[in-house]
Chain A
Amino acid sequence: MSAATPDQSAEASGSRVITYRQALNETLRAELERDENVFLIGEEIGVFEGSYKITAGLLQDFGPKRVVDTPIAEEGFVGAAVGAAMLGLRPVVEIMTLNFSLVAIDQIVNHAAKIHAMFGGEVKVPMVIRFPGGGGQQLAATHSQNLEVWYAHIPGLKVLAPSTPAEAKAMLTAAIRDDDPVIFLENLGLYNVKGEVPDGEQVAEIGKAAVVKEGTDLTLVSYSRGMVTALQVADEFEQKGVSVEVVDLRSLRPLDRDTICASVRKTSRAVIFEDDMLSYGIGAEIAATIGEGAFDWLDAPVRRVAAAEVPLPYAKPLERAAMPSAEDLSRVVQQTLDATRFTK
């Protein structure tokens, strides 16, 4: 397990309760201070302090060479960051949301991800591309997507998806210090979530999932914002006497298959909760992983709870209906228990 896990109880003097947003902001500041090669680049991150205020106060303290405002030209500034990284800087790119990264996808997939391998390992691309994904804010179909699976599919990239403020700190630190291009997935629904964050330097181990709640009866796998719902449902079932183990993927690529399979070998039942669409999603990869690594231990089919396969509607009731809910998850967990005639 990594240095920072969501359930880690920090000592009274050694931690503070802050928001996910604040944890990101403080981590960027700490890394800017620590390494002069680190710089931030993106739209409106300087004077305007970022669309979601993640970079608040940083232009003022570090100046326009370290906090670079760009035009609305994702392909351009991601490409610039790739070049800077190749020459030894450590750019941290902010793209306003995951949705706009599609404009820069050629730079990400065909350049950032490939250069190290295609140049015979002689060049590194140590950069981070941060953006929030997710729906639920009535931003309609084009601004509410969970396309992290696109990036998780690409060798050469690392894809991290912290679910708590403490994880955000430890994983962003690790991402900035990593020598590979890292896609750093945040979530609009998590920015205001508060949590205890340990003081001092925290560096997560990339590629490790975390068992954030131990249990014996059923494994619940999720990541990013989905973890909030997963833990809520796990607690609900715990009160009914069902011991649910909750696995936070944390790193979508590399994927920690061992932790997932070890958990399912213990529980024999697995449900995956994801904000993205069901078809070809993260859950499909997890289900296949379980099929390959824990088949002989399964007592019921692996079930997935995911978003409806529609462009996310703008209307609030429809948006709510299309996104996977705690009720959906509870129902599928119960069905999985029933399918094995689970009794306390």
Chain B
Amino acid sequence: MSEVTMPRLSDTMEEGELARWLKNVGDPVAKGDVIAEIETDKATMDLEAFEDGVLEKQLVEEGTIVPIGEAVAVIGDGSGAGGGEKPADAEPAEKQPAAEAKEEAEPAAGADPSAESEPSAESGPSAEEPSGDEQQGDEQTGDERDDAAAASAGDKPRMSPVARKLARDHDIDLATLKGTGPNGRIIRKDIEAAIEAGAAAPGTAAAAPAEPRAQAEAAGGDRDSEKVTLNRIRKVTAKRLTESQAVPHFFLTSVVDMERLIALRAEVNQGLADTGVKISINDFIVKAVALALRQHPDANASWNEDSILRHGRVNIGVAVATEAGLLVPVVKDADRKTLSDIAAEIVELAGKARDGKLGLDEMTGGTFSVSNLGMFGIDEFTAMLNPPEAGILAVGAASPVPVLRDGQLVEVPKMKITLTVDHRAMDGATGAAFLRDLTGILEQPLRIVV
């Protein structure tokens, strides 16, 4: 019999959600069979059996978050198949004989000091298990007893005091948390993970009221509607965008003449033909944005409640659509990198994003974001801020527009870019000056390369 434990599926993984059981208790399994799906913070991956046998126990339910190394299933010869026994139960079971021995030992010793024959030496009482008196349960026992009551009552989540304090200090919405301590206790690690994941809201995030849900469910009626369970990326996205909506913001749109940039790009890519590197329009835009931000530190900023933080580095987040949801990997120090470096980095980051392999440090630290829907033929759109960044640029498609030039009607590719601005950090004129200079750079693209 052997335990199947939560594997480490990525460098940054500390825990995984057992998303779905693919084998039931009693099912025969062969080495290499996928017995469950594990969802990490980045991706969904398969949990494989490492030996042949029968799945005897599922130790956790679907949706449970399990730390690395903790048992999730037991594979054996089939003799032990049965119930979803939780790992926590194993230990008390083991302790049982000791506890019994103690009950014997106490009255015996009290009644007759020559108690040699009563308690056996092996099952001597252990120190952390006070005997006899029901009042003196040790922590383990006490916890389990409470657990039964709490589970049926379904009331407030269990939390360690330091977790409670941290959650309060960081305005963490407890409803979004799942405790990974004993009996689902929310512990410091859980809060720290939530803070890192950006679940922290400056100010209080409005909890989604129950009503929209009811309305949403009523809207489609029953027929053919499918309820899609939220993965972690979608949960975090939903929460952060809801927060983003609370930021007072405005939009500025500019139309960019892309003729020279497109020509330059063709030239540059021709020159790079042998190297395999290909610079996209978006790479030019990222670099141009970085240069414009360098000129406009006011736009490379974050609202910091009691202050405005002007960032020393220019780190550009690039929105990437993946099957699992929207991810925004960050190109660090984009103002100092060459176009080909940026191009290579974005290809790598986007690939990792799609594979669910982005590291946390590759998704954090952004100071400004770029979202490009030009490849979908979108003419123009507005993007939602990615807090705490004070600006995001929405890039549309470069479309041919008829223009009168020297009395001749010519076709010129024009691109609409729309800046979303956190008004607390930046005023209209500041945003406009930034956008004007960005447009200037894009229209004289040699400035990007020199």
Chain B residues with CB under 8 Å of A343's CB are: 14
Give complex CA distance A318, B164 in Å.
43
- A309 and B130 CA atoms in complex are apart in Å by 6
Chain A: minimal CB distance from B41 (Å): 15
Known contacts A300-B160, A317-B121, A325-B127: A310-B189 contact under CB 8 Å: no
Q: Which residues of A contact B188 (CB under 8 A)?
A: 268, 299, 340
Residues of chain B in range 122-155 having any CB-CB distance to chain A below 8 Å: 124-128, 130-133, 136, 138-140, 143
- Beta-carbon contact of B121 and A318 below 8 Å: yes
A303-344, CB < 8 A from B = 303-311, 313, 315, 317-318, 320-325, 328, 331-332, 335, 338-341, 343
Q: Is B119 in contact with chain A by the CB < 8 A criterion?
A: yes
B98 to chain A, nearest CB (A): 10
- Flag if B187 contacts A341 (CB, 8 Å): yes
Least distance between A198 CB and chain B CB atoms (Å): 35
A-B contact count (CB 8 A): 108
Given A311-B113, A313-B109, residue A278 in contact with residue B125 (CB < 8 A): no
Chain B proximity mask over A270-296: 1 for CB below 8 Å, otherwise 0: 000000001100000000000000011
Question: Are B187 and A300 in contact, with the CB atoms below 8 A?
Answer: yes
Q: In the complex, are the beta carbons of B130 and A298 less than 8 A apart?
A: no
Known interface pairs A310-B106, A317-B121, A321-B124. Does A339 touch B136 (Cβ–Cβ under 8 Å)?
no
Judging by beta carbons under 8 Å apart, are A304 and B128 in contact? yes
When the two chains form their complex, are residues B189 and A341 in contact, meaning their CB atoms are under 8 A apart?
yes
| Cβ–Cβ < 8 Å partners of A340 in chain B | 160, 181, 187-189
CB distance from B116 to the nearest CB of A (A): 6
Q: Is the CB–CB distance between A278 and B187 below 8 Å? A: no
Q: Which residue of B lies closest to A307 (CB)?
A: B127
By beta carbon, the residue of chain B nearest A328 is: B127
B124 x A309 contact (CB < 8 A): no
Cα distance A321–B128 when bound, in Å? 12
Contact for A322 among B110, B125, B161, B185, CB less than 8 A: B125
Interface set, chain B 335-354, CB cutoff 8 A to A: none
| Interface membership of B162, Cβ < 8 A | yes
A310 and B109 contact, CB distance less than 8 A:
yes
B138 neighbours in A (Cβ, 8 Å): 303
B162 touches A299 (CB 8 A): yes
Closest CB in chain A relative to B179 CB, distance in Å = 10
- Quick one: closest B residue to A265, CB to CB? B162
Given known pairs A310-B125, A339-B181, A341-B180, the reply for A299 and B163 (CB within 8 Å) is: yes
A297 at the A/B interface (Cβ < 8 Å)?
A: yes
* Most A CB within 10 A of own CB, among B110, B160, B165, B182: B160
Q: Does B102 contact A (CB under 8 A)?
A: yes
Assess whether B105 is interfacial by the CB under 8 Å rule: yes
Residue B67, interface by CB 8 Å:
yes
- A136 lies within 8 A of chain B by Cβ: no
CB <8 Å contact, A295 and B125 = no
Residues on the A chain within 8 Å of B182, using CB: 338-339
> How many whole Å from A331's CB to the nearest CB in chain B?
8
Q: Given A279-B136, A340-B187, A341-B187, do A297 and B161 touch, yes or no (CB 8 Å)?
A: yes
Question: In the complex, A102 Cα to B140 Cα: how many Å?
Answer: 35
B255 at the A interface (CB under 8 A) = no
Decide: B67 and A341 in contact? CB cutoff 8 A. yes
B272 within 8 A of A: no
Is there contact, CB below 8 Å, between A309 and B132? yes
Residues of B within 8 A of A308 (CB): 102, 105, 124-127, 130-131
Which residues of chain B are near A306, meaning CB under 8 Å? 127-128
Whether A297 touches B109, Cβ cut-off 8 Å, given contacts A309-B131, A322-B125, A341-B180, is no
Residues of chain A from 92 to 118 with CB closer than 8 A to chain B in the complex: none
Question: Pick the contact of A321 from B121, B131, B133, B143 — CB < 8 Å?
Answer: B121
In the bound complex, do residue A315 and residue B116 qualify as a contact, i.e. CB atoms below 8 Å apart? yes
Q: B126's closest neighbor in chain A, by CB?
A: A328
Q: How far is the CA of A311 from the CA of B112 in the complex (A)?
A: 11
Residue A207 interfacial (CB < 8 Å): no
* A296 adjacent to B119 (CB under 8 Å): no
Chain A neighbourhood of B136, CB < 8 A: 278-279, 309
A144 to chain B, nearest CB (A): 13
B241 within 8 A of A: no
Rounded to whole Å, the gap between the CB of A305 and the closest CB of chain B is 5
Q: What distance in Å separates the Cβ of B93 from its nearest Cβ neighbour in chain A?
A: 16
A301 on interface, CB distance cutoff 8 Å: yes
Residue in A closest to B127 when the chains form the complex, CB atoms: A324
B433 CB–A CB distance under 8 Å? no
- For B109, what are the chain A residues with a Cβ–Cβ distance below 8 Å? 310-311, 313
Contact pattern, B 406-450, Cβ under 8 Å of A = 1, otherwise 0: 000000000000000000000000000000000000000000000
CB distance from B439 to the nearest CB of A (A): 49
Decide if A301 touches B105 in the complex (CB within 8 Å). no
- Is A332's CB under 8 angstroms from B128's CB? yes
Assembled-state Cα–Cα distance A315/B164 (Å)? 48
Interface centre among A297, A338, A340 (most CB of B within 10 A): A340
Verify B113–A141 contact, CB threshold 8 A: yes
Which of A278, A320, A323 is most buried by chain B, counting CB atoms within 10 A of its CB? A278
- Asked, given contacts A310-B106, A318-B121, A318-B124, whether A339 binds B187 with beta carbons under 8 Å apart, the answer is yes
Q: Does B128 lie within 8 Å of A268, measured CB to CB?
A: no
- Residue contact A296 to B165, C-beta cutoff 8 Å: yes
Contact yes or no, B185 A279, CB < 8 A: no
Inside 8 A of B67's CB, which chain A residues have their CB? 341
**In the bound complex, CA of A320 to CA of B187 (Å):** 36
A268 to B160, CA, bound (A): 10
Residue of A313, A317, A324 ringed by the most chain B CB atoms within 10 A: A313
Tell me the smallest distance from the CB of A291 to a CB of chain B, in Å.
Answer: 9
A305 with B128: in contact, given A310-B105, A313-B109, A341-B181 (CB under 8 Å)? yes
Contacts of A325 in B (CB 8 A): 127
Is the CB of B238 closer than 8 A to any CB of chain A? no
Q: Indicate which residue in A279, A313, A323 contacts B130 across the interface (CB closer than 8 Å).
A: A279
Residue in contact with B127 in the complex, picked from A278, A295, A300, A313, CB distance below 8 Å: A278
Query: Is B206 in contact with chain A by the CB < 8 A criterion?
Result: no
Q: Which chain A residue lies CB-closest to B169?
A: A296
- Bound-complex Cα distance A301 to B158 (A): 12
In the complex formed, the residue of A with least CB distance to B129 is: A308
The smallest beta-carbon distance between A106 and chain B, in angstroms, is 26
Does the CB pair A328–B128 fall under 8 Å?
yes
Q: 16 new A-B pairs (CB below 8 Å) besides A278-B128, A309-B106?
A: A278-B127, A278-B130, A295-B161, A299-B163, A300-B160, A303-B138, A306-B128, A308-B125, A315-B116, A322-B124, A323-B127, A325-B127, A339-B181, A340-B188, A341-B14, A341-B189
**8 A–B pairs (Cβ distance < 8 Å), ordered by A:** A141-B113, A297-B162, A298-B162, A317-B121, A322-B124, A328-B127, A332-B128, A340-B187
A-B complex: 10 closest residue pairs judged by Cβ atoms:
A321-B124, A308-B125, A324-B127, A317-B121, A296-B165, A328-B127, A299-B160, A299-B188, A298-B161, A299-B162
